[in-house]
Amino acid sequence: MERTLILVRHGQSEWNLKNLFTGWRNPGLTEQGIEEARAAGKALKALNFDIDLCFTSALSRAQHTLDLMLEEMDIVNMTIIRNQALNERDYGDLAGLNKDDARKKWGEEQVHIWRRSYDIPPPGGESLKNTAERVLPYYHAEIEPKVEAGGTILVVAHGNSLRALVMELEKLSPEEILKREIKTGDPIIYKLKADGSVDSVTTV
């Protein structure tokens, strides 16, 4: 029995391009982001995946990416479950700020700590640890059982919400996951064993 989980980070957003902290804000995709989403869909279509169910966040850049992917895969009438548990990390007071401006305001070292530490959140926001504390219970309750039942499940979400999933699936330490870059529009394909552990992982 095939048990497949496919993770995709949304295509480049307008705020990715402008070097802004995004979090729970809702910028659209750039032209490059649209192309990345379409390319991800084409890549999965070429591999002949028969998607059973899709999950995405409550944020429009992830939803738009998923819509474009399904269009390229010629999939219609797909069940899509949208939940804010899969939202990007909430950057709180940093949201909407240029990263260089944030460094001028709080200092390079402090901004680096907020961005790259596992459990220190920015003011009014979430750390990666906080993000994992909402992503992982949702994954175990809603997504993992669908995969274990023999499904092919597609999850389109965000850099940090996907980091939380990758950390869990690949049994990475906080230090290891902070070094892991999740590229926009690059599908990560996990084949899972019956117990939910990873049998193999490939990147398209």
pLDDT tens digits for range 83-119: 999 999 999 999 999 999 999 999 999 999 999 899 9
Q: What is the pLDDT of residues 9-28, one digit of tens each?
A: 999 999 999 999 999 999 99
Average pLDDT, the chain: 96
**Domain count across the chain:** 1
CATH number of the domain encompassing residue 26: 3.40.50.1240
pLDDT at 51: 96
Segment 24-34 mean pLDDT: 97
Residues 6+ apart with CB under 8 A from 95: 21, 22, 23, 24, 25, 125
Which among 36, 88, 126, 168 is annotated as catalytic?
88
Kindly tell me if the per-residue pLDDT of 192 is higher than 90: yes
Does the residue 78 lie in any domain?
Answer: yes
Kindly tell me if the per-residue pLDDT of 1 is higher than 90: no
Does the residue 2 lie in any domain?
Answer: no
Task: Indicate if 133 belongs to the active site.
Answer: no
Kindly tell me if the per-residue pLDDT of 186 is higher than 90: yes
Structural domain that includes position 189? 7-203
Does the residue 1 lie in any domain?
Answer: no
Helix and strand counts by DSSP (H, E) for the chain: 9, 6
Does the residue 35 lie in any domain?
Answer: yes
Does the residue 119 lie in any domain?
Answer: yes
Task: Indicate if 112 belongs to the active site.
Answer: no
Burial profile 59-95: b = 16 or more Cβ within 10 angstroms, e = fewer: bbbbbbbbbbbbebbebeeeeeeebebbbbbbbbebb
Which among 10, 36, 126, 158 is annotated as catalytic?
10
